[in-house]
Amino acid sequence: MPTPLEQAIVRTAAWFSMFETPVTVFELWKWMLDPDRAYSLEETHAALDGTWLREKLVEADGVWTVASSPLLPQGGAGGGPLRRERFLDATRKFKKLRRAMRFVRLVPGVVGVAAGNTLAWWNTRPDSDIDLLVVTRPGTIWLARLLVVTPFALLGKRPGAASVDPFCFSFFVTTDALDFSSLRLDGGDPYLAYWTRSLVPVFDRGGVFDRLSNENRWAREVLPNARPSRRPSPSLSSPLLRSRRSWGRSFVAATLDRLAKSIQLRRFPQKIRDRMNVDSHVIVNDRMLKFHENDRRAEYRDKLNDLCDSLEHSSRTVSSS
């Protein structure tokens, strides 16, 4: 019978295997999914020597993954070279993102930007999106989105226009809406927990991502060993940047934000109009703009549960034969 720690390790390895991401022992510990308590790195190392885990996981090139499963796009050993290849691609994307931030950080109202999804995991392909969360001051979200997204659209750098390194601005949120607990799916939402805890800030004014972490304590309970990434904020010294705080509360800013809202609402495609505010996939209001119409969180959760059940069943089969 597996211990709770062994079950948590397999659950974690299975999660990352679904995304073709073999993990190191440290990553198995850091990103341990929903354990019964916070285990130490030493306990995780010791557990990997157990017979039950050796039946379920394989190690090669210093990384671990589920041994085999029809649910996985790729399984087995040899994940190290794949990780190195994708790490190098992510490194290139981060360089491009930091160059883009020279413009984005100048946009009035923007106080934070973080990379998410595959880029946050340094696990990208050339055609992978540069997925971003943009945090704005209250009352500026529509104007900030219009000013941020328009240049990338005009330059053909958005998904659907660029085949390599498209910039995806699919999530904007104001500083008074940083608690994402209302977005969680009933029945568990490991994807949202991982997404929230894995964000990599590339611009952070005033510790906004510390606030985001503190307001999402529910994610800490799911991933007790995870610690958010931190990056130094760019230098902010121009008169425009020094004056943005008061500008963001001005009558002119409020008027421009309403105008930007009107423009964008008229231009939303029908698929967004059909889905907005129906569930947590597409949210459109003055505090959050979330455009994830192809939200697969429930699919990933259910696939994980099926995979873990199959692994447990194979264990019982082996032990009874």
Dihedral of CA 94/95/101/103: which sign? Answer: negative
Number of other residues whose CB lies within 10 A of the CB of residue 269: 9
Number of other residues whose CB lies within 10 A of the CB of residue 70: 7
How many DSSP H helices and E strands does the chain contain? Answer: 15, 8
Instruction: Kindly state the tokens that stand for 175.
Output: 């500083």
Q: So what's the pLDDT on residue 30?
A: 96
Q: Which residues of the chain are under the pLDDT cut of 50? A: 69-77, 232-243, 316-321
How far, in Å, are 98, 200, 314 from residue 113 at the CA level?
A: 11, 9, 44
Ordered strands of the 130-136 beta sheet: 200-204, 110-115, 130-136, 167-174, 288-291, 282-284
CB 23 within 8 A of CB 15: no
Instruction: Kindly state the tokens that stand for 34.
Output: 């929903």
Q: So what's the pLDDT on residue 160?
A: 84
Domains, the chain, in order of start with CATH, read 4-77 (1.10.10), 86-296 (3.30.460.10)
Q: So what's the pLDDT on residue 76?
A: 43
Instruction: Kindly state the tokens that stand for 203.
Output: 């611009």
Q: So what's the pLDDT on residue 245?
A: 52
